[in-house]
Structure 1
Amino acid sequence: MIPLPRYEQVKRHILEGIEAGDYEAGDKLPSENELVRELNVSRMTVNRALRELTEEGHIIRRAGMGSFVADRRMRGHAADIQSIREELQARGESWSADVLFLEEIALPKDIAGEMNRTAGDKVYYLLVVHKGDGMPIELEERWVNPEIAPDLLAQDFETTTPTEYLLAVAPLLRAEHVVRAVAVTPSERRLLEVSEGAPCLEIGRRTWTGERVASYARLLYPGDRYELTARFSPVGAASNT
C-alpha cells in the first residue's frame, strides 16, 4: 500500500481531531510550529496542509491570529442567498428556466479580475433566463471555477437553479453584491422582454468557497417586475427579538 503524502497525513490528523470533537467550530488549531514539532514534518508541509484545508472550507486562517475550525453548518446561510426559484415560490409564482449557454470557455479579460484568475483560464459559463409564471424575471450570466464545481456542465438547469446546485456542492464562506441601475443591450432586452429604455437592475454577485472565488454572476432584472429589499440595524443597537 502506497503511504499518503506527508501533507495529506497532516490534513487527516487535523480532520480526525475535528471529527472526534477535539476541536469544535471556532476553536483555534495548533500553530504551524506546534504541528511541525508534534508531527515531525517540515513547515512547508504543514503550510500546504492548512492551505488546502482552508480551500476545502474546513478551517479559516486569520493573519496574525492562526487557524480556526470553520462552522460548516452555517456557511450556506452566511450571505442569506436565495435562489430565484425560492423567491418566486415565496410570492406564489411558478418557476421555469431556459438554458441558453452551458459550456467551457476562456475567461474574458473583463471578468478575470472578478474571479481572481488570469484572462484565458478555462472556466464554466452559463446563460439562463429565469421566469415567473412564464414571464422573464431574471437573466443570469455566470462564470464558475471548474475546480469548485467540476460536474457543473452535466447538470440540468431547467430542473434546478445554478444557485441551488452551487450551494449544495460548494460550501459558501462569503458573498459580495454590487447593485446598480443599468441600460441593457438589445439582446438582453429581447431576452427579458422589456421595451427600449425600460429601467433594469443589475446585481454583480461574487461568492467564495474557502479562499477561492467559486463564481461570479451578473444578474439582470426588469425594474417593473423586481425589487430588492434589505434590513439594517445601527451598529451597537440592541436586539428586539
Structure 2
Amino acid sequence: METPKPHYLKLKQYILRHITNGDWPPLSRVPSENDLVVKFGVSRMTVNRALRELSDSGVLTRVQGVGTFVAGPKAESAMFEVRSIREEITARGQLHSVQVLIGESVVARPNVTSQFGLESGAELFHTRLLHKANGKPLQLEDRFVNPASAPDYLGIDFQTEIPHQYLMRVAPLERTEHVIEAETANKRLAAQLEIAEGDPVLVLTRRTWSRGQVVTWVRLTYPASRYRFVGTFQVGATLTPGG
C-alpha cells in the first residue's frame, strides 16, 4: 500500500505541471499564497513550504511585497545536436567546472553491452561526471565507452578535456540516436543535482557511432528547473543528427 503524498508535494507537482505544460510561461505570476490556501484547503505553512522549495530549486522567483513568478529562461540545448556542455555553459558567460565521481573499467551487464552490440561480460570504460555552471549542478553525465574506439579514454584529464571533446577528436561522429524522457529525482540523484527529492529531471540517453561501431552510450540528466531542449523541424527536409 502506497503512502499518501504530503500536501506540500502535491502542491509542488500542481505548480510544476502548469509550468511544464506552458500554462504559466517564464516570468508570469503564479497564484498568491491566499489563492492556493483557498483552492487546496491547506494551511499557509504548507503553501509556503511548496513555494519556498520551488524557489530554492530555481523554478520560481519570489519578490517580497510583489508576488511569486515563474523563473526566467533556462539554459537550453538544441534537441538533435551533439554539443559540448562546456561550450554551452561558457557561451552563456558562466564558468564551467566538472567533478569526477567515477572512472573505471567494468565487466558490463547485458543491458549495457546490448547497446554496443557486444556479448555480455564485455569490458567497457565507465565514467560519471557532474558538470556545473557557476558552481551549480547542471548535468550528470553517466557514460560507457567502447575501449576499441577510445583506448586512452580513462587516461585523459577531464578537467582539461571533457569526454565530449576527447571522443569527437578520436572517434569522429558518424551517427547518433537520442531518447529524451522526463523523470523525478530519487534521493541520491536529488543530492547530486542539489534539488529536492521528487523534483522533475530531464534525461537524454544517447548512442553515437564512429567507423561503423557504437563508441559511447551515455545518460545525461538535467534539473528540469534549469534546463530545456529545443528543436526546429523543416517540413519536407531530411533530419540529420548534429545539423
> Which whole-Å CA distance do the structure 2 matches of 1:236 and 1:143 have between them?
33
1:236/1:191 CA distance change after superposition, 3 Å: closer
Shift of 1:218: 0.3
Conserved 8 A contact 1:104-1:124: yes
**1:93, 1:159 → 2: CA distance?**
17
State the percentage of identical aligned residues.
38
Mapping for residues 172-187 of structure 1, pairs under 5 Å: 172-187=173-188
Partner SS for 1:124? strand
- AA at the equivalent of 2:198: G
Give 1:164's aligned residue. 165
CA distance in 1, matches of 2:153, 2:101: 15
> Relative to 1, partners in 2 of residues 1:236 and 1:147: Cα closer, same or farther, differing over 3 Å?
closer
Match of 1:230 in 2: 231
1:105 aligns with 2:101: no
State the TM-score, normalized to the length of structure 1: 0.64
- Look up the match of 1:193: 194
Which one-letter code corresponds to 2:143 in the other structure? Answer: R
Residue number in structure 2 paired with 1:90: 91
Q: How do 1:36-185 residues align onto structure 2 when only pairs under 5 Å count? A: 80-185=81-186
Separation of aligned partners in 2, 1:184 and 1:210: 36
The 1-side partners of 2:104 and 2:97 are apart by 20
Q: Deviations over 1:5-50 (max 9, x none)?
A: xxxxxxxxxxxxxxxxxxxxxxxxxxxxxxxxxxxxxxxxxxxxxx
Q: Aligned partners of 1:118 and 1:174: how far apart in 2?
A: 22
Alpha carbons of structure 1 residues 236 and 141: separation in structure 2 relative to 1, 3 Å: closer
Structure 1: segments with no counterpart, 5+ residues:
1-78
Distance in 1, Cα, partners of 2:125 & 2:150: 9
State the secondary structure of the residue aligned to 1:147.
coil
Residue by residue over 1:178-215, the C-alpha shift from the partner in whole angstroms, topping out at 9 and shown as x without a partner, is: 00001233222111111011110000010001210000
> 1-side partners of 2:118 and 2:184: how far apart?
27
Question: Would you identify which runs of 4 or more consecutive aligned residues in structure 1 move more than 3 Å?
Answer: none
The CA deviation at 1:221 is 0.2
- 1:129-181 Cα offsets, whole Å, 9 max, x none, are 00000000000000000010000111111222101110011011011110000
Supply the AA of the counterpart residue of 2:154: L
* Aligned 8 A contact 1:107 1:118 in 2: no
The alignment yields a C-alpha RMSD, in angstroms, of 1.4
Equivalent position SS for 2:97: strand
- Aligned AA (1:156): D
Q: CA deviation at 1:112?
A: 2.0
Q: What's the counterpart of residue 76 of structure 1? A: none
Which ranges of structure 2 fall in alignment gaps of 5 or more residues? 1-79, 239-243
Report the TM-score when normalising by structure 2.
0.63
> Relative to 1, partners in 2 of residues 1:121 and 1:198: Cα closer, same or farther, differing over 3 Å?
same
Counterpart of 2:16 in structure 1 is none
Residue matched to 2:207: 206
Tell me, in whole angstroms, the C-alpha distance in 1 between the residues paired with 2:133 and 2:185: 20
CA contact (8 A) 2:180 2:203 kept: yes
Aligned residue type for 1:130 = H
CA distance in 1, matches of 2:123, 2:185: 27
| CA-CA distance at 1:236 after TM superposition | 5.3
